[in-house]
Amino acid sequence: MKIKTGILAVIATLAAGHASAAVLRLECGAPGPGQDVCMTSAKEWAKKTGNEIQFVATPNDSNEQLALLQQLLGSGSDKIDVLQIDVVWPGILANQLLDLKGYSKGAEKQHFASIIANDTVGGKLVAMPWYIDTGMMYYRKDLLEKYNQKPPVTWDEMTATAKKIQDAERAAGNDKLWGFVWQGRAYEGLTCDALEWLSSFNAGTIVDPSGKISVNNANAAKALDTAAKWVGSISPKAVLNFAEEEARGVFQSGNAVFMRNWPYAWSVMSQDGSVVKGKIGVMMLPKGGAAGRHAATLGGWQLAVSRYSKNPALAADLVMYLTSAQVQKFRAIKGSFNPTMPALYQDKDIIKASPFMAELYPTFASAVPRPSTVTATKYNQVSNQFWNAVHDVLSGNAKPTDALAQLDGSLKRLSANGTWK
């Protein structure tokens, strides 16, 4: 499904066969099974309303998607009506998106208030919440049991457990096994992983909510140092080019003890035929030492309508349908996409399909947001500088203290000394 930036490929068309049917173009891809799950619900809407939907594909990496959408919306193109937007984009794209307030009929009240606040920019409801992501740790229950290991609480414990099992299994001939896989490519996903490391060591969130650049501190250096030591030891060097799906590929083939990923991975890995089905445990990401805390980055996606859509009312209707409780329930069961409605976390069918949604509920409520609200239109540049600095450290090209000092300087220049205007 990967396509070059700048080209929008129509991947499927659903014709309603009505002479008066409108054609709506919908972009709703996600790693793993996300596209199919979205298509199923969109097709229901098309059938119900007698309209036509064209599904458009975009690149997998969220920052590449952003570049493509900015290019498209920036030219006022009507090639897309409904788009999925990352939780960190409302400030960046607000001007190109329709205010959904006139169409929502109060549906906002069913969603977590914090996400509605995130999706409201300058009083405009620029998107409706669709699903929440938070970073989680997947592990091989069977391997931890085999070696009599408890699920680790701190990163140091995780490192020791991973190393122990990796060494023992390799000595026994399982030479493809790695201790820990995660997202180390220089892209938005690395910002998410590294924010978790920082936050777990009480090192702040790069830029604090008042706009102050806080990334250059000793705990952050410690966090990056911890992660850099994994590369080539418990994590393959190739992790430096892993996004979500590459990490899942290794874990799902049975070749990793631990994996950091988002909730979607649960449903794909638990399907019939999956080598690791029934062997997967899920827990909070480890703490940065005894004084640290469990931290999970807040991710997730929203649905929005382009300002340039020729069918704004119909497009908004599609958004309201796809973000409704009924569709969110279907998505939670089928694709383990975390609902954005508190009530659905009490739903028995959802909890049966994805027990972690109940078990890790406190993590979802306290997930760490990236500094996108305060840095607004500059968020993507902030993130880009951060992930490059982190990638340099992980690749062994820079010492944590040097990389952080340099990042501090370049973020200060970008922000005009912390004003972000």
For residue 200 the two structure tokens come to: 């777990």
Q: Does residue 236 interact with ligand GLC by CB under 6 A?
A: no
Beta-strand pair 120-121/124-125: antiparallel
Q: Which amino acid is located at 415 in the chain?
A: S
251 vs 301 by CB, closer to ligand GLC: 301
Q: Is residue 165 within 8 Å of residue 285, measured between CB atoms? A: no
Q: Does residue 87 interact with ligand GLC by CB under 6 A?
A: yes
Q: Where in 130-149 is the site for ligand GLC (CB under 6 A)?
A: 133
Q: Which of 192, 296, 315, 374 binds ligand GLC (CB under 6 A)?
A: 192
Q: Does residue 86 interact with ligand GLC by CB under 6 A?
A: yes
135 vs 312 by CB, closer to ligand GLC: 135
Q: Does residue 196 interact with ligand GLC by CB under 6 A?
A: no
Angstrom distance (rounded) from CA 295 to CA 89: 22
Q: Does residue 189 interact with ligand GLC by CB under 6 A?
A: yes
With CB under 6 A as the contact rule, which of the stretches 4-12, 160-168, 188-196, 232-240 interacts with ligand GLC? 188-196
What's phi and psi for 419, nearest 5 deg? -90, -30
41 vs 380 by CB, closer to ligand GLC: 380
Closest listed residue to residue 234, CA positions, set 126, 135, 308, 161: 161
86 vs 196 by CB, closer to ligand GLC: 86
Going residue by residue from 25 to 64, which x/- string records binding to ligand GLC, judged by CB under 6 A?
-------------------------------------x--
Q: Does residue 335 interact with ligand GLC by CB under 6 A?
A: no
Burial of 36 (0-12, 13-18, 19+ CB in 10 A): exposed
- Nearest approach in angstroms of CB 327 to ligand GLC is 18
- Nearest approach in angstroms of CB 386 to ligand GLC is 13
Q: Which amino acid is located at 203 in the chain?
A: A
Q: Dihedral (C-alpha) 240, 244, 274, 171: value to the nearest 10 degrees?
A: 20
Q: Which of 180, 262, 266, 420 binds ligand GLC (CB under 6 A)?
A: 262
Angstrom distance (rounded) from CA 115 to CA 64: 23
- Nearest approach in angstroms of CB 29 to ligand GLC is 10
- Nearest approach in angstroms of CB 344 to ligand GLC is 18
How far are the Cα atoms of 326, 370, 386 from residue 374, in angstroms, in the given order? Answer: 33, 10, 16
Q: Does residue 188 interact with ligand GLC by CB under 6 A?
A: yes
- Nearest approach in angstroms of CB 243 to ligand GLC is 6
- Nearest approach in angstroms of CB 299 to ligand GLC is 3
Count Cβ atoms below 10 Å from residue 297 Cβ, excluding itself.
Answer: 26
Angstrom distance (rounded) from CA 300 to CA 84: 10
Q: Does residue 91 interact with ligand GLC by CB under 6 A?
A: no
Q: Does residue 339 interact with ligand GLC by CB under 6 A?
A: no
Count Cβ atoms below 10 Å from residue 300 Cβ, excluding itself.
Answer: 23
Angstrom distance (rounded) from CA 196 to CA 194: 5
Taking the CA atoms of the chain, what radius of gyration do you get in angstroms? 21
Q: Where in 274-313 is the site for ligand GLC (CB under 6 A)?
A: 299-301
Angstrom distance (rounded) from CA 359 to CA 351: 9
**Which residues of the shown chain bind ligand GLC in the complex (CB under 6 A)?**
62, 86-87, 133, 188-189, 192, 262, 299-301
